[in-house]
Amino acid sequence: MMELTRKGEYAIRGIVYLAAQPAEQVCLLSDIATAVDVPQTFLAKIFQQFSKIGLVRSYRGTGGGFVLGRAPERITLLEVVEAVEGPIVPNRCVTGEGECSRTSTCNAHPVWVNVQEQVRDILAKVTLKELAGNQD
């Protein structure tokens, strides 16, 4: 239960690598993919998702590549994970889709809400700066 998918793992590796680079350093996708050991085409998809929501900025053409969208201390692990894995929802009944209306009062509901909040809270407190700190 609760497993981060490989995509999520790759996403973290990739963006942490970017965060560890000097500010405004444009990185080639191919270089990132090699460095963090992720299939380039797969990482491309992930970075496209990052790009759409501004976690990274992309430049096309010669001299192009990727740069972190904001300062590493202003990007949280929660944002990164939710960008590729979708919202953190331990149980469908938390999304309020009416799934839970089986019994009028589902006693488990508040538990899942609690789990969701705690996890989001933990991930929201970790920034890319911390994750990128003192790497080789």
Indicate which of DNA, a second copy, none lies near residue 52 (CB less than 5 to 8 Å, by partner kind).
Answer: DNA
| Helix (H) and strand (E) counts in the chain | 6, 2
Q: Which is nearer to DNA, 65 or 72 (CB)?
A: 65
Written as one string, the DSSP assignment of 26-43 is -B-HHHHHHHHT--HHHH
Binding mask 69-98 for a second copy (x = CB under 8 A): --------x---xx--xxxxxxxx------
Q: Which of 126, 134, 118, 100 is nearest to 12 (CA)?
A: 126
Indicate which of DNA, a second copy, none lies near residue 102 (CB less than 5 to 8 Å, by partner kind).
Answer: a second copy
66 DSSP β-pair partners: 27, 58
Amino acid at 63: G
Q: Which of 5, 25, 30, 40 binds a second copy (CB under 8 A)?
A: 5
Tokens of 14: 């990739």
Cα 81–Cα 79–Cα 82 angle in degrees, nearest 5: 40
**Rule CB under 8 A: is residue 131 a binding residue for a second copy?**
yes
Count residues near a second copy (CB under 8 A). 46
| Sites of contact with a second copy (CB under 8 A) | 1-5, 8-9, 12-13, 16, 36-37, 77, 81-82, 85-92, 102-105, 107-108, 111-112, 114-116, 118-119, 122-123, 126, 130-136
